[in-house]
Structures are given as C-alpha cells and as structure tokens.
C-alpha cells in the first residue's frame, strides 16, 4: 500500500476506517458550473473525495474553489491522466463505465486490464482506482480484480446501478437498485487485499450495506448530482455521511 500512503491523510484515514465517501460529478460532466456546485456540496456535506471528469482546467477550477477537498479524475483514455494529475488531482480512476452503456459501448475484462497496464506505465507512482465492469459474471469480476491488482491497481471500484431494474417502490426499490454493486463488493472484497469502493445505484439506505459487504468506501453520483437545489445536494451528502459510521469496521470482522 505504498502508493496509498501518498494520498492526503484524510483519505488514508477514511480508507483505514472503512468509511470513505466519494461524490461523483460524472465522467462525462464537463460543465464547469455544474461540477462547481457538486464540489461545493460535497465539501459542505462532509465528503472525503470528489470524482470528476478528467480535464486539467476543470481540476484547477475545483481545486481553487474547494481547496480542502481531494480530487479524483476519471477517464478511459490513459493519455488524459498526466495533465490532470499535474493540475492537482490526487488520484486517477479508470471508469466507471455507466455513461457509456446507453450508447452500446461495453468494456470487457481484457480491455480494462490493458487500460490499467497503460495507465500504470504513464503514472507509476500515482494512486490508481479501476472499475470492474458489472456486465461480467461475479466470478469473472473477482478474477479481473485479482488481475488488476497484479497489474498495479491500488483500489477496485464496483458498479451495477445501470443493470438493476427495481420493481418495488420505497426502501425495497432502493435495495433492489443497489443489489448488483453490493454483490460485486462482497465478491471482490474477498478476492483481493485491496480497498474496494462500492459505487453505482447507492443511497443512504444502501450505503451501510455496502460497507457491511466488505467495501472500504462508497461512491455516490446520481443521488447527489441530479438534484437541482444546492441545499438539497448538501443535505444528501450529509445524509450519506451520517449513514456510514453505523457499520464502520464491521465488514472485515464479518469476513472471518
């Protein structure tokens, strides 16, 4: 975990306590005003990390606006990462891939592994998170996570919200929505000795389940970034933050 020690102390501690909260602005969201609003809400609500599109100018803007909030840039093209890191990103992430699925773009295990290897060559010392595509069967997701760890990934992220089709309303519907990413977090956290970030389709109802499943943190996007009111976004982030300490530290003990 030597590269993880290069992260800001707050992020290291959040991972150690298994309660990292990442707010996702969106891999395809290059709207500076929108990202700025999401960043402000993330900082005010107590998030540990903001995940934003891989654009150096966007990184510089958000870093100036919310200087205490560490930034993670997301892309699927490794060549985009170095400039964003130079602009102030604390870490980089391959994926998640949700924004591509609607257009029919699918990422297989081999391609994700190749992107990971290329990224590690470009940035040998930068913390790298890699998303495991949810379209793979769970056993193949776990095997890919093992291969990604061997290729130099420092964190593994799950996804699955776009594959869920909840039929119930209310709390049951929220659980149905999160089921694929929760299952992935459970399987992958037992396959690799790396921190797992559970993302896609989560809410304040299911965040505690993600941590109990074995995740060291969560990534939440639409539950925050689709809100139009700034105060509502702050309240949503705070609600997620408040949902996390309830099961912090339980996941690893549950695995033994």
Q: Is the pLDDT of residue 177 over 70?
A: yes
Which residues fall within 8 angstroms of residue 237, CB to CB, at 6 or more apart?
Answer: 21, 23, 41, 42, 44, 45, 46, 47, 224
Q: What percent of the chain has pLDDT over 90?
A: 86
pLDDT of amino acid 251 = 46
pLDDT of amino acid 165 = 78
Element (H, E) at 50: strand 49-53
- Model-level pTM greater than 0.85? yes
Q: Is the pLDDT of residue 253 over 50?
A: no
Q: Is the pLDDT of residue 100 over 60?
A: yes
As a whole number of angstroms, the distance between CA 83 and CA 148 comes to 23
| Half-sphere exposure at residue 172, Cβ-oriented, CA atoms within 13 angstroms | 3
Q: What percent of the chain has pLDDT over 70?
A: 93
Q: CA dist 4 to 43, 50, 77, 142, 253, Å?
A: 22, 17, 22, 21, 22
Strands (E), 65-202: 71-75, 91-94, 127-131, 155-157, 196-199
- The tens digit of pLDDT for each residue in 75-91 reads 999 999 999 999 999 99
Domain spans of the chain, in order of start: 3-244
- The tens digit of pLDDT for each residue in 209-230 reads 999 999 999 999 999 999 999 9
Peptide bond before 105: cis, by omega within 30 degrees of 0? no
| Three-state DSSP class for residue 78 | helix
As a whole number of angstroms, the distance between CA 45 and CA 64 comes to 18
**For all residues of the chain together, what is the average pLDDT?**
93
**Token pair of 26 as six digits:** 């969106």
pLDDT of amino acid 248 = 45
Fold of 3-244: TIM Barrel (3.20.20)
CB 217 within 8 A of CB 24: no
pLDDT of amino acid 166 = 78
Q: Is the pLDDT of residue 163 over 80?
A: no
What is the pLDDT averaged over residues 64-70? Answer: 96
Element (H, E) at 25: strand 20-26
């Amino acid at each position: 975990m030597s590269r993880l020690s290069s992260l800001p102390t707050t992020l290291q501690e959040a991972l150690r306590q298994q309660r990292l909260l990442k707010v996702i602005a969106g891999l395809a969201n290059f709207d500076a005003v929108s990202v700025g609003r999401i960043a402000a809400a993330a900082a005010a609500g107590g998030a540990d990390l903001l995940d934003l599109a891989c654009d150096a100018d966007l990184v510089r803007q958000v870093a100036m606006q919310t200087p205490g909030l560490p930034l993670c840039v997301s892309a699927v093209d490794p060549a985009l990462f170095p400039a964003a890191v130079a602009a102030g990103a604390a870490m980089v992430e391959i994926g998640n891939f949700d924004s591509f699925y609607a257009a029919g773009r699918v990422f297989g295990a081999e391609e994700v592994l190749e992107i990971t290897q290329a990224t590690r060559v470009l940035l040998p010392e930068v913390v790298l998170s890699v998303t495991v595509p949810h379209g793979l069967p769970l056993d193949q997701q776990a095997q890919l996570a093992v291969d990604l760890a061997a290729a130099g990934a420092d964190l593994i992220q799950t996804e699955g919200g776009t594959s869920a089709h909840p039929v119930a309303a209310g709390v049951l519907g929220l659980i149905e929505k999160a089921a694929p990413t929760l299952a992935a977090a459970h399987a992958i956290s037992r396959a690799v000795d790396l921190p797992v970030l559970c993302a896609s389709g989560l809410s304040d109802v299911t965040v505690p389940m993600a941590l109990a499943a074995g995740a060291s943190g969560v990534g939440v996007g639409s539950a925050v970034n689709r809100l139009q009111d700034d105060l509502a976004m702050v309240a949503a982030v705070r609600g997620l933050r408040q949902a996390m300490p309830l099961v912090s530290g339980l996941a690893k003990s549950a695995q033994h």
